[in-house]
Structure 1
Amino acid sequence: MEKQKRYFNEILNGESVKKNVSYYKSVDWNRLEDAIDKQTWEKLTSQFWLDTRIPVSNDRSDWRQLSEEERDVVNKAFVGLTMLDTLQSEEGANVMREDVRTQHEEAVLNNILFMESVHAKSYSTIFISLNESKKIDEIFEWGDTNERLQYKAKVINDIYQNGTGLQKKVASVFLESFLFYSGFFTPLWYLGNNKLENVAEIIKLIIRDESVHGTYLGYKFQLGFNELSEDEQYEIVVWMYDLLEKLMVNEDKYTEEVYDKVGWTKEVKTFVRYNANKALQNLGFPAYYDEGTAENVNPIVMNGLSTDTSNHDFFSQVGSGYLMGEAEAMDDDDYDF
C-alpha cells in the first residue's frame, strides 16, 4: 500500500516515476564485468523450486500429535518468517536496484525478488495444510500486531528507504542471514526428530536460497566497502555493529516470547548468534558472538542445515529431497484436534 501511495503522490505532484534514459543498452551475458553475477544466476536458476510440488498435507499426522503449545510455536515462527519474506519481496531486492554495479547484477536481483515471493507464499501453503481458516486469521493478526516483529520490519525498511547503498546491503544480509533463523530453528528441530518432514523440506529449500542471497549481497557490499576511504569505512562499521546490537536485543525478546513456553529459548538464542556471525562473515567481518559457534548449536538443528537438499554453502545444487509427491487428501475431520 505504501508503494502505491508514493506512486500516486509522485503523479499528483507532477514528478516522474520513470527513469530518464537517453538510450537502452542490451545486456550481454557473454561479456561479463563480474563473473560472480553469472555464477550466482546459474546457481539460483539451477535450484528453482515451487511450494506446490511438496506434499505438505502429508505432515498432518505429525501435526495432530503436537501439543497445543508446540503448534502455537510453529505457527508464530512461520508467521514471523512470512512477514520478513514479504518485506524482502516488496522492498528488499527492489531498493538494491538503485545501486547495481552491472546489468547482470540487476538480473540476479530480479531472480531474488521473485524467489522471495515464492518463499512468502510457501508459508501460506504450510498454514492452509495444517490449520483451519479461522486459526490462520488469528495467526496473521498476531504477526501483524506483534511489537517485536514490527520493530524488525520497521528498522530494516527504514534503512531500505533512507540508507546508503552499502547500508541497504548490510540490512538485507542481516535479515536473510540472521533474523530469519529464530524462525528456522523450529522446523529444523522437528526434522531432526523425524516430524513435519515435508514442512522442513520447504524450509530447507528456503534456507538454501537465503544462503545464496546473503552471500551474494555480502560480496557486493565488500566491493563497495573496499572502495571507501578509511574514515568512511570506520563510519559504516560503527553503524553496522550498532545496528546488529539493536536487532539482537529485540531478537532475544522475540525469541523469549515465542519459545519460553516450550523451553527452547536458550538454544534458539545460540542458533541466532551463530547465524549473526555468519551474516558478518558474508559481509567480510569476523565473528562477533563467542557463543555463536557450530559446536554450541543443538546438533540436531545443525544437522538440518547439512542435508543434501540444504547444504549451508554457496555451491549446493538442487537436492534429492526436492521430489514431487502424492498429497494426502484432506477431510473436514482433519481440523478436529
Structure 2
Amino acid sequence: MIENKNNYYQKSLSPLEYANNGFKGKMRSVNWNFINDDKDLEVWTRVTQNFWLPEKIPVSNDLTSWKSLTFEWQQLVTRTFTGLTLLDTIQATVCDTAQIPHSLTDHEQVIYANFAFMVAVHARAYGTIFSTLCSSEQIEEAHEWVINTESLQNRARALIPYYSNKDPLKSKVAAALMPGFLLYGGFYLPFYLSARGKLSNTSDIIRLILRDKVIHNYYSGYKYQRKVKKLSIEKQLEMKKFVFELLNQLIDLEKKYLTELYQGFNLAEDAIRFSLYNAGKFLQNLGYDSPFTEEETRIAPEIFTQLSARADENHDFFSGNGSSYVMGISEETEDEDWEF
C-alpha cells in the first residue's frame, strides 16, 4: 500500500531537470495518471485528436486551378508559402524546444515537444504543396527570395533572441506571438484565393495549420497568464508594457513585409487588417484588451467565411476529417487473405 500518494514526485526530477542539475538526483517518468494541471491533458487530447499529415490531402486536385493563375500570382503564392515555411522552421527548431525548460509541469514539457513536431509537419505541408504544384525553378526562386528579402528576414529574426532569453515570461510571450500573430499576413492569401474558387485544397491545408496555431497560441497564453498572476503588480505592469512594445515592433516589421510582398496585387492593406485582427486575439489570449479599432481590423466577409470550421465543406475541423482529407478504409483480414 502506498502511504503518501505521489510522494515520489517531490523526491525526483524530470529528465530535463536532471540534465540541468549537474546530473544529480533521481529521475521520474512523466505520469499521465497524475495531472498537475487539467489544461495540459485537455490540450494534449485536442492536439492528438487533430493530428493530420499533408500527404492525406489531395493537393493535386488544385493543378487545374494552379495552371489558371498567371506567372505573377504563382510566384506570389510560392514566395508567401516559403516565407511561412521559414517561420515554421524557426518555431519547430528554436521556439517550441526553448519552452521545454521553462515548463511548469512535466506534461507541459512533452506538449511543447509535441508542438515542435506539429509545426515541423506544417513546414512539411508547404513542401507538399510545392512538390505538387510548382516547378523546381519556382521552388528554387522562392527560397532564394526568402534569404535575400530583408523585410522578411527582419521579422523572422525579431523573436529569436527572446526564445533563448533567461526570462521565461518573455520567452513565453515570443512563443505565443509566432502562432498568434506573425503568420496571418501570409495566411490571408490562400483564403483570398479560395474565396474566388482558386486552390481550395491548398487552402484546406492552411485551415488545418491555422487550427493547430489557434491551440498553440491559446496554450502559450494560458501558461503565460498562470505565471504572471504570481508576480507583483509592479512586475505585471512591466510585463504588459513589454508585450505591447514587442507587438508594436512586430507590427511595424509586418507592415513593411506585407507591403513589399503584395506590391502590385492590391492586397497589402487587407492583409494588414487581417494581421491586426489576429494581433488583438493574441493579446486577449494573454489576458489583455485589444487596442485596435473596428476600422483597423475590418475583414471582408468572404475571408471570415474561409475561416469557418466548414468553409467549402472540405473539412470537419472538430473531428479532423473532411471530404478532402483522405483516410484509408480498413477491414478485418481472414485466413484466406494470407494464402498467396
Given that residues 272 and 292 in structure 1 are in contact (C-alpha distance below 8 angstroms), is that contact kept between their aligned partners in structure 2?
Answer: no
Rounded to whole Å, the distance in 1 between the matches of 2:292 and 2:283 is: 10
Identity across matched positions, percent? 35
Paired positions, count: 307
> 1:289 aligns to what SS in structure 2?
coil
1:251 to 249, 254, 272: 254
> 1:261 aligns to what SS in structure 2?
coil
Rounded to whole Å, the distance in 2 between the matches of 1:278 and 1:122 is: 25
Structure 2's unaligned 5+ residue stretches are 1-18, 329-340
2:134 paired with 1:128: no
Query: Counterparts of 1:1-337 in structure 2 under 5 Å?
Result: 20-291=23-294, 296-308=298-310, 316-321=318-323, 323-324=325-326
Report which stretch shifted further, 214-223 or 142-151.
Answer: 142-151
Rounded to whole Å, the distance in 1 between the matches of 2:38 and 2:327 is: 37
Q: From the CA coordinates, give the structure whose radius of gyration is larger.
A: 2
Instruction: Summarize deviations over 1:82-106 as a string: whole Å, max 9, x none.
Output: 0000000101111001111111111
Instruction: Summarize deviations over 1:204-241 as a string: whole Å, max 9, x none.
Output: 10000000000001000000011111111111111111
Give the residue type in structure 2 aligned to 1:190.
L
Rounded to whole Å, the distance in 2 between the matches of 1:321 and 1:165 is: 42
In 2 relative to 1, CA 184–292 (structure 1 residues): closer, same or farther, beyond 3 Å? farther
Rounded to whole Å, the distance in 2 between the matches of 1:132 and 1:17 is: 47
> 2:164 aligns to what SS in structure 1?
helix
Rounded to whole Å, the distance in 1 between the matches of 2:186 and 2:282 is: 16
Instruction: Summarize deviations over 1:17-59 as a string: whole Å, max 9, x none.
Output: 8962411112221211100000000000001000111111221
In 2 relative to 1, CA 91–309 (structure 1 residues): closer, same or farther, beyond 3 Å? farther
Given that residues 310 and 316 in structure 1 are in contact (C-alpha distance below 8 angstroms), is that contact kept between their aligned partners in structure 2?
Answer: no
- Alpha-carbon shift at residue 319 of structure 1 (Å): 4.0
Report which stretch shifted further, 300-309 or 123-132.
Answer: 300-309
Give the residue type in structure 1 aligned to 2:268.
T
Give the residue type in structure 2 aligned to 1:308.
R
In 2 relative to 1, CA 220–310 (structure 1 residues): closer, same or farther, beyond 3 Å? farther
Rounded to whole Å, the distance in 1 between the matches of 2:22 and 2:86 is: 30
Rounded to whole Å, the distance in 2 between the matches of 1:113 and 1:241 is: 26
Which stretches of structure 1, 4 residues or more, deviate above 3 A after TM superposition? Answer: 16-19, 291-294
Give the residue type in structure 2 aligned to 1:202.
I
Instruction: Summarize deviations over 1:133-166 as a string: whole Å, max 9, x none.
Output: 1221110011122112211221111111225111
Given that residues 69 and 261 in structure 1 are in contact (C-alpha distance below 8 angstroms), is that contact kept between their aligned partners in structure 2?
Answer: no
* Root-mean-square deviation (Å): 2.1
Structure 1's unaligned 5+ residue stretches are 1-15, 327-337
Rounded to whole Å, the distance in 2 between the matches of 1:192 and 1:244 is: 29
> 1:148 aligns to what SS in structure 2?
helix
- Alpha-carbon shift at residue 310 of structure 1 (Å): 11
Give the residue type in structure 2 aligned to 1:323.
Y
Rounded to whole Å, the distance in 2 between the matches of 1:59 and 1:19 is: 54
Rounded to whole Å, the distance in 2 between the matches of 1:55 and 1:21 is: 51
TM-score (norm 2): 0.85
Rounded to whole Å, the distance in 1 between the matches of 2:280 and 2:26 is: 43
> 1:31 aligns to what SS in structure 2?
coil
> 2:309 aligns to what SS in structure 1?
coil
In 2 relative to 1, CA 99–130 (structure 1 residues): closer, same or farther, beyond 3 Å? same
Given that residues 208 and 310 in structure 1 are in contact (C-alpha distance below 8 angstroms), is that contact kept between their aligned partners in structure 2?
Answer: no
